Amino acid sequence: MSTATQTNVDSFRTETRDWLEANCPQSMRTPVKDFKDYFWGGVNPTFHSEDQKIWFERMKDKGWTVPRWPTELGGAGLSKVEYKVLKEEMDKLGCRTPLFSFGIHMLGPALLGFGNDEQKMKHLPAIAKGEVWWCQGYSEPGAGSDLANIQTSAEDKGDHYLVNGQKVWTSYADYADKIFCLVRTDKNAPKHSGISFLLIDMKAEGVSTRPIKLISGSSPFCETFFDNVKVPKENLVGVENEGWTIAKYLLTHERSMIGNVAKMDKTLDEYAVESIGLEGDLLADPVNRIKTAQWLIDEAAFNFTLERAMDEAKAGTPPGAKSSFFKYYGTEMNKRRFELMMSTGGFDNLVWGEEYDEGKTPRDFCRTKANSIEGGTSEVQLNIISKHILGLPKK
């Protein structure tokens, strides 16, 4: 890097740090505990605190809800280096993501890659400004791991498609304003070839949702039904019957998002020391000591590998099938972290009562099990890794 470029990066870092320090409310610098700690956007947005609103508005005005998107699409047009600096400085202060949405992490990249100009101008600024809540209509009762088996149909009716079918596990469909969907537009084509990528308004006549209640007590996802839903032709993204390419591209972004091992308010060793105590300088339980140390080593190695992949992406090599590796390892590591926390926490972690932080740790422990299912299961990621990265024979 030239001296002039380094000077620019240094001054960007200083400005960013100062701005974050001055503009990020203290309560937005604490770790996210649950769904409510994120602002999800939407036509009728819900802010869970005044600070959440202030933080979102300020970041939105700077284009920092989607820092890398072009300014005309609501972003800040940051370079990869500037984006990395922004992320590092936000991490140092513990700043929360100001807007969390499937629009940013899934649909946005797909539209940037495959949408036409009208679709980009219509949808991307609205996503950046948190004006629309998007949900994902991929899975169906007979199409999870075998996603290309989707049966929801979109029949060509001239100026519109007529959509019929059912999706399942649609996260937050009951809150969402719109859904990006995989639909079958050619029933006679081989299964990967007859799929299209369609944008559907959740308020359209014939769309309904039914929340599914989980073991954790919450209902984060729904069954979604389409009963003779008319969808304008302009809502087709990319080419009819070639939606599978978009579907896979979007999944690489989804998997990268899920594979991130979130930072918590305490590191695993701090948690273990608090729960078990020390014997001299060492964690009192030798078995747990080894497992905790191993997890921390694995976490460091994982973060270095992620960093390397990000540098490769900067040099123009997209992650592609490697996103399956990060998804697999990140989610399995997160499960291992919570298993350790459950075993170090002892009796306190078996209680779901209010005096025990409403059972936060056991609930989070249960939730980690879903990490290695959502966005494609661990087994499916291993299949992709063996085929596309290791080049192993299929059978």
Which parts of this chain interact with ligand FAD (CB under 6 A)?
Answer: 135-139, 144-145, 169-171, 221, 370, 373-377, 379-380, 383
Please identify, using beta-carbon distances, which residue of 152 and 275 lies nearer to ligand FAD: 152
For residue 386, the minimal CB distance to ligand FAD (Å) is 10
Amino acid at 154: A
How far apart CA 103 and CA 107 sit, in angstroms, is 5
Please identify, using beta-carbon distances, which residue of 203 and 394 lies nearer to ligand FAD: 394
For residue 204, the minimal CB distance to ligand FAD (Å) is 18
For residue 195, the minimal CB distance to ligand FAD (Å) is 13
Q: Is 68 helix (H, G, I), strand (E, B) or coil?
A: coil
Task: Output the six-digit token pair for 343.
Answer: 């075993």
Please identify, using beta-carbon distances, which residue of 292 and 323 lies nearer to ligand FAD: 323
Q: Any residues with CB less than 8 A from the CB of 29 and at least 6 apart, and which?
A: 93, 94, 95, 96
Q: Which phi and psi angles does 70 have, rounded to 5°? A: -60, 155
Please identify, using beta-carbon distances, which residue of 330 and 376 lies nearer to ligand FAD: 376
Beta bridge pairs of residue 389: none
**CA-based radius of gyration for the chain:** 22
For residue 209, the minimal CB distance to ligand FAD (Å) is 12
Please identify, using beta-carbon distances, which residue of 41 and 67 lies nearer to ligand FAD: 41
Beta bridge pairs of residue 308: none
Please identify, using beta-carbon distances, which residue of 208 and 377 lies nearer to ligand FAD: 377
Alpha helices, DSSP H, located in the chain: 3-23, 50-62, 80-93, 102, 108-114, 117-128, 243-259, 268-276, 286-314, 322-345, 360-371, 378-384
347: left (phi over 0), alpha (psi -120 to 50) or beta: alpha
Q: How many CB atoms lie within 10 A of CB 123?
A: 23
For residue 319, the minimal CB distance to ligand FAD (Å) is 19
Q: Is 279 helix (H, G, I), strand (E, B) or coil?
A: strand
Please identify, using beta-carbon distances, which residue of 20 and 111 lies nearer to ligand FAD: 111
Chain residue whose CB lies nearest ligand FAD? 144
For residue 253, the minimal CB distance to ligand FAD (Å) is 14
Please identify, using beta-carbon distances, which residue of 139 and 275 lies nearer to ligand FAD: 139
For residue 249, the minimal CB distance to ligand FAD (Å) is 15
Q: How far is CA 196 from CA 148, 239, 252, 271, 388, in A?
A: 11, 7, 18, 47, 24
Q: How far is CA 30 from CA 9, 266, 281, 381, in A?
A: 27, 11, 29, 32
For residue 135, the minimal CB distance to ligand FAD (Å) is 6
